[in-house]
Chain A
Amino acid sequence: MATTLSRRGLLSLGVGIGAGTLLAACGGEDSPEAANTRIVARCWGGVWETALQKICPGFTEATGVEVLNDPGSDTVPLLQQKPGQYDLAWLIGNEAARGLTSDVLEPIDTSRIEKWDSIVTRLSDGQTKDGKVSGVPISYTASGILYKTDKVPFKITSWEDLWRPELKGQVALQNAPSIGGLFLIFTGARIFGSGPTDYEAGWKALERLKDNVQFLFNTSTDGVNKLAAGSVAAVVTIADQGIPLKSRGVETVVPAEGSTWSVQNVTIPAASTRKDQAYEFINYMLKDETQVEWAREGKAAPASTTVTLPSEVSANLVETPQIAQSLWPIDWYEFGQNITEWTTRWQRIFGS
């Protein structure tokens, strides 16, 4: 018996074939030409993506390699889930370290980084463990205390001031697992303990700090916005964020005893098939003129020490050479290994 399809049946079949074709097209491979002239980078959104949009055309002009930026968070899990999708990944210190230890990232061949020796030593040391380098620092930001001068009845000069009773319920910290809050373990260890690795002293200090904490924020801008609005008196965050708020009565302090910091690295996923182009991009990012542009757009201090920033750019950054010298050493590998346990402990202290 011959089977005849009704109009609706044919329509369904058409939709099915169309959907199948679409799915097949989604999984299509690049042409060989495109494979060598385009790299895909996982980056952060917001100001970082904007900065990359301004910088990448120059790289394309110089090398003929186009950079496709895919902004988003949770990059390491994505690299695990989708190997081969990215040729570059922007990662902060502990993420890069974890990426390398979990074999998601390629160890950086520093001999291929033209200006490796010009990078601030504190930054490159933090990404190096047993001779393996997880990522190339491109820029960094120092942590600091931002406070409203009309709400804090004394001048903040030291990390220890955060524990003063006058700040009861007036401090905002970045929430774990973001590193901005967890840094205070290091701070507590140094200020109240026997040394930089006396983490138990750091935790005890955090427990004492709890009464002074009004809230924990998940994005750094949230804390700064509340400070500007006057609903909180002091915020521990990226120090550079305080500079635009000076006219609104916000003072920015990077205490003289030193500070923690965050670093913006470029890393190369182990599954990348365009590693040569990735190295080219990293070298381009470390060129002096690119570093200036990156500092201007990203509001972060250049990792290269050979860069002289124009005054209008340096005016927006607190990271002077003196502050670069006072950065505390951070072992991002140790930080990465401990972050799960530390986050849980943090939640036990601050959560209810």
Chain B
Amino acid sequence: MTVATAARGEERARTGWLLSAPLLLFTAFMFLYPAISVIRTSVAGREEVNAGGFTLSHYTDFFTDELYLKALSNTLLIAVLTVLITGVLGLVYAYQLTMRPGLRQLQLALLLTPLLVNGVVRIFGLQLGLISVNDLLMWANLVDSPLGLNYSFTGIVIALVMFQFPFMAMAVYASLSRLDTTLVEAAQTLGAGRMSVLARVVFPLAVPGLVAGGVLTFAAAAGTFIVPAMMGGGRVNTVPQMIYTSVSQSQLWATASAFAVILVVVLVVPIMVGTHFGNRDTAGVR
């Protein structure tokens, strides 16, 4: 290596640092600082931001109180159900879009258009729609009393599926759009049934998209405040609601910070497992 080459390498490295400096500063300011502040506050001796002292009592309080444990289990269950339902629906949607690409632009536009509407408006619309569903079921004498679609656990999951479905469908479609359709034809020629094709040919190819969409959906569903607040009707406690309550009226910053850290840690585990699983080669190529 000549001196000139080494100098060029040094300059490139320096330029690289300069180029990445704004992004590093942005990340440090927007993510690292708040994260460190939250972690530090979560172990503070008093209920103030960055208060001194050290205690783990905010964490032990969480894990010894049935109210908070129930909120955590509700949060996780809601997130898991949302991932499963959007995953199944997203896979079917993306598959049919891949196999029958006619009017693809229109189908994609229809999929994404609801994202342009304000979330609160969509929830109000959904609530009215679910009231109509109940009215219809009762009118048809299929049920005696309204089903618990609004203001319930079910309502939260329905709303989250509605919110997250486009993201899951797009992620799966991104994986399946490169699907070589001759693989499906080959499998059918070899006698595979429709379900067998889906399970053994399409599904493995969709796994990266399912995992990417699943991670996004899981994190969004577990971290949402507004959907459980509006669709749960105050009857279903979740961790984000507990965090909001702790800060908004009671200014329990340390408690809220500990809850936030717990939520992040609990979410990171399944997300890492999912990502690890998604990175495996599931398409059968060795």
B-binding residues in A (CB < 8 A): 1, 3-6, 8-9, 12-13, 15-16, 19, 73-74, 76-77, 80-81, 94-95, 98, 102, 175-177, 214-218, 222, 225-226, 229, 231, 339-340, 343-344, 347-348, 350-352
Contact = CB atoms under 8 A, between A and B. Distances in A.
Contacts of B229: 175, 218
A98 B251 CA distance: 10
A177 B248 contact: yes
A76 B234 contact: no
A102 B49 CA distance: 14
B179 interface: no
Nearest to B253: A77
Given A74-B248, A339-B250, A215 B235 contact: yes
Contacts of A98: 251
Contact of B18 (A9, A343, A347, A352): A9
Interface residues of B: mostly helix, strand, loop or mixed? helix
Interface in B1-48: 7, 11, 14-15, 18-19, 21-22, 25, 48
Contacts, number: 102
Nearest to B145: A169
Nearest to A216: B234
B234 A350 contact: yes
Interface of B: 7, 11, 14-15, 18-19, 21-22, 25, 48-49, 67, 70-71, 74, 124, 127-128, 131, 150-151, 153, 229-230, 233-237, 242, 245, 247-253
A177 B250 contact: yes
B113 to A, nearest CB: 24
Contacts of A94: 249
Closest 5 pairs (CB-CB, A-B): A216-B234, A215-B233, A177-B249, A215-B151, A340-B250
Nearest to A231: B131
Given A73-B248, A340-B252, A12 B131 contact: no
Of B237, B251, B253, the most chain A CB neighbours within 10 A belong to B251
B245 A350 contact: no
Contacts of B11: 3-4, 6
A6 B237 contact: no
A340 B249 contact: yes
A229 B235 contact: no
Given A8-B15, A231-B150, A350 B235 contact: yes
